[in-house]
C-alpha cells in the first residue's frame, strides 16, 4: 500500500487553546507527513508493499533489517490513531457508560485512572506514547507506555486511546511542561467515545 496523510478530523484551530493550530501545522503537516514520505520510500520494491498498514508494522517489527520501515510505518499508524483520540470540547470526567464501567472495574475509577494515566505518560523517558489498552487475552483495560514508535498491538494489546509525548506534540504550546499537556489532554481533548467504540469492537486482530 502507499501511505497517505489523513485529514484531521477537526479544524486545525478547533482544540485551541489546549492545542494550537501552529502545533498541528508542524505536528500533522510536517512531522506526520515526513513519516509517510520516508515510509513510502522504504516500502518501494518491498515484499510488504501490498500489505495493510497494520500488517506492515507487525512484519517490520519482527525483522531487525526493517527497523527503518517499522519506525516510519508505526509512527504513521500512531499519529493517525492519535488524531482520532482528540476531540474539540472533549475530555473531562463524564465518560460514556460502558467505558466508565470498565475503567471503574479494571482501573479503580476515573480519578485513579487520570492520575495513573498522567503518570504513565510523564514517566515515559524520552520520546514515546502513553496508552489506554485492552488486553486481548483477558479483555481487561490496562495502561502502558511505549518508547519511540512502539505500538501496543505488536504485543497482544488493543489500543483504545493514546497521548503522544514526543516533544513535538506539545513543545509549541507547553514548552517542557509535559505533565500540564497530558492533564489538558485528559481534561479537555480526549475522545472518550472513540475509545469506547474500539472497546466495543473487541480485540484487534491483525495477521502479519
Q: pLDDT, tens digit, for every residue of 30-82? A: 999 999 999 999 999 999 999 999 999 999 999 999 999 999 999 999 999 99
Residue 91, C-alpha cell as written in the block: 475530555
| Relative orientation angle of helices 53-61 and 67-84, to the nearest 10 degrees | 140
**In which band, very low, low, confident or very high, does the pLDDT at 202 lie, cut at 50, 70 and 90?**
very high
Indicate the pLDDT class of residue 88, thresholds 50, 70 and 90. Answer: very high
Q: Residue 152 and residue 170: Cα distance in Å, rounded?
A: 22
Q: What is the pLDDT of residues 111-169, one digit of tens each?
A: 999 999 999 999 999 999 999 999 999 999 999 999 999 999 999 999 999 999 999 99
Q: What is the pLDDT of residue 145?
A: 98
Cβ pair 112, 208 in contact under 8 A: no
User: What does the pLDDT read at residue 206?
Assistant: 76
> How high is the pLDDT of residue 205?
85
- How many Å apart are CA 96 and CA 192, to the nearest integer? 7
Q: How far apart are CA 12 and CA 25, in angstroms?
A: 8
The confidence band for 207, taking pLDDT boundaries of 50, 70 and 90, is low
Model confidence at 208: pLDDT above 80: no
Q: Is the pLDDT confidence value at 3 over 90? A: yes
Grid coordinates belonging to 107: 482501573
* Sign of the four-CA dihedral 181, 187, 189, 190: positive
pTM: 0.97
Parallel, antiparallel, or unpaired: how do β-strands 157-164 and 128-135 relate?
antiparallel
1 has a pLDDT exceeding 90: no
Q: What is the pLDDT of residue 12?
A: 98
Q: Does the CA dihedral 46-51-57-60 come out positive or negative?
A: negative
> The C-alpha cell of 83 is what?
488524531
Give the pLDDT band (50/70/90) at residue 20.
Answer: very high
Amino acid at each position: 500500500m502507499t501511505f497517505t496523510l489523513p485529514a484531521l478530523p477537526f479544524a486545525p484551530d478547533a482544540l485551541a487553546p489546549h492545542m494550537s493550530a501552529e502545533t498541528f501545522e508542524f505536528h500533522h503537516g510536517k512531522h506526520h507527513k515526513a513519516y509517510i514520505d520516508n515510509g513510502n520510500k522504504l516500502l518501494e520494491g518491498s515484499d510488504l508493499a501490498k500489505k495493510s498498514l497494520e500488517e506492515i508494522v507487525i512484519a517490520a517489527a519482527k525483522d531487525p533489517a526493517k527497523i527503518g520501515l517499522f519506525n516510519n510505518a508505526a509512527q504513521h499508524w500512531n499519529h493517525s490513531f492519535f488524531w482520532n483520540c482528540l476531540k474539540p470540547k472533549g475530555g473531562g470526567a463524564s465518560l460514556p457508560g460502558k467505558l466508565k464501567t470498565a475503567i471503574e472495574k479494571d482501573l479503580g475509577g476515573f480519578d485513579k485512572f487520570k492520575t495513573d494515566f498522567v503518570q504513565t505518560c510523564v514517566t515515559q523517558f524520552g520520546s514515546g506514547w502513553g496508552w489506554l489498552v485492552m488486553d486481548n487475552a483477558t479483555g481487561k483495560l490496562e495502561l502502558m507506555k511505549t518508547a519511540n514508535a512502539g505500538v501496543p498491538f505488536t504485543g497482544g494489546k488493543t489500543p483504545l486511546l493514546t497521548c503522544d509525548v514526543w516533544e513535538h506534540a506539545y513543545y509549541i504550546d507547553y514548552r517542557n511542561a509535559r505533565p500540564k499537556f497530558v492533564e489538558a489532554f485528559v481534561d479537555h481533548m480526549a475522545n472518550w467515545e472513540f475509545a469506547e467504540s474500539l472497546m466495543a469492537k473487541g480485540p484487534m486482530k491483525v495477521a502479519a
